[in-house]
Amino acid sequence: MKYAIVTFGCRVNQADSFQIEEQLMANGGTVSSVHDADLVVVNTCSVTSASDQGTRQIVRKIARENPGARIVVTGCYATRRPDEIAALPGVVQVVPNDRKDAFAEAIGLTTAERFGGGDGSCGAAIAPGLAGRTAYTLRVQTGCDEECSYCIIPTTRGRGRSRPKHEVLAEIARVRAAGFREIALTGVHLGSYGRDLPVRSSLLDLLESIERETTDGIRFRISSLEPMDCPEGIVELAASSGCFAPHFHLPLQHASNRMLVAMRRPYTIEYYRRLVDRLRERIPHASIGSDVIVGFPGETDADFAELEAYLRECPLTHIHVFPYSDRPGTVATALREKIHGSIIRDRAARIRAVGRELTGRFHEGQDGAVRSGLTIEDGSLVVTDNYLKLRIEPGRARNEWIQVRVKIEGTQLTGVPIPTEH
């Protein structure tokens, strides 16, 4: 039996898809293209209405171009609107988030039964390059107890749940033994790691344990952290340890305190400013990404001006812009003073332009720098520790650590490998 997995959304979904893929391989499945697969798994996101629309479009496209495929849909959209998903063409089953960890069982597979006639190796192991992925995404936490007024995810993922530290460390050892050299640690609310465990812990405690028990040859990326969950200890650990990549993602959402209150975000712009300024001071070469929402109900011209002004002078390097859209079931849906779509589109375009300026400024500052990087794809693309993607001359294998000098040619980033001294 041939399978394909289509993943929408964040790194948490990517981690979930890795788990699903392992289960399918263990049952004799072999990876294929969407067009040739007997089974297509669509792992959905539901952060925005655009995410939902993207899911519907891709499911219809798969059903149209591969009418013989069994389409199984899982993820947040499938959890939030199972009947809506089940009505789409080609969909034979909907698997909610709370059954993802036992996906193979949920769709009626057992290792003994396997895929009928499948020629895959029962119990086949993961390895770098599987389905085009070189780094491994490891979910250490899921669920969220926060109450952001615009977010539907707590209702689709449930309350915060952390994996015990010994399980995380064992998983790291397994993944490393499989040949992976980079692991992204992720969670729905990663910064809340450990608060729900019988013996209360913290993300910093987990990171310190990872550093103590991990030797050279592997690097970790810390996925998105809410600003209030990034204490000085994590900044200092990233600054002093070669174990963690100088790459942060700290969602801002807005620079107007009035909007942050309406969004139910538990910090101020002053707090956020101090955090990212300190991070830039301690790790000058770090990549610092962020998310912002434009067009939130009640956002005035003055609120937007505060957002635009802060972003123009901040040390961020990448911005993901989310035009506000109602999510039925959230507090924000019931708010008045909705912003007209044309105004939202205009504001989004302006902030995206600012984001391009920030990214360009960061790239210019890295011109000529020598960074460590991991080769991906066919070996001709390198992702540096601070998340620059550099094209290099072909001839190297995937999954190699190299030193590379950053070079800017117009708007293109390239890299020149530095020979290793023997």
In a domain, residue 127? The reply is no
What angle separates helix 301-313 from helix 341-366, to the nearest 10 degrees? 10
- Which domain-ending residue is among 228, 245, 262? 245
Contact call for residues 264 and 274 (beta carbons, < 8 A): no
**Would the pLDDT of 55 be above 60?**
yes
Range of the domain at 59: 2-106
Please indicate, yes or no, whether residues 31 and 85 belong to a single structural domain of this protein.
yes
Please indicate, yes or no, whether residues 287 and 393 belong to a single structural domain of this protein.
no
Please indicate, yes or no, whether residues 167 and 214 belong to a single structural domain of this protein.
yes
Q: What is the pTM of this model?
A: 0.87
Q: What is the pLDDT of residues 305-315, one digit of tens each?
A: 999 999 999 99
**Dist. CA 316–CA 282, nearest whole Å:** 14
Q: Which residue type does 171 have?
A: E
What's the domain count of the chain? 4
Please indicate, yes or no, whether residues 207 and 307 belong to a single structural domain of this protein.
no
- Which domain-ending residue is among 187, 211, 245? 245
CATH of the domain at 11: 3.40.50.12160
- Which domain-ending residue is among 221, 245, 269? 245
**Dist. CA 193–CA 291, nearest whole Å:** 21
DSSP 8-state code for residue 174: H
Q: Which residue type does 374 have?
A: L
Q: What is the pLDDT of residues 235-285, one digit of tens each?
A: 999 999 889 999 999 999 999 999 999 999 999 999 999 999 999 999 999
Please indicate, yes or no, whether residues 38 and 93 belong to a single structural domain of this protein.
yes
Please indicate, yes or no, whether residues 375 and 272 belong to a single structural domain of this protein.
no
Please indicate, yes or no, whether residues 253 and 237 belong to a single structural domain of this protein.
no
- Average of pLDDT values for 18-24? 87
**Dist. CA 146–CA 226, nearest whole Å:** 10
Please indicate, yes or no, whether residues 281 and 329 belong to a single structural domain of this protein.
yes
Please indicate, yes or no, whether residues 233 and 253 belong to a single structural domain of this protein.
no
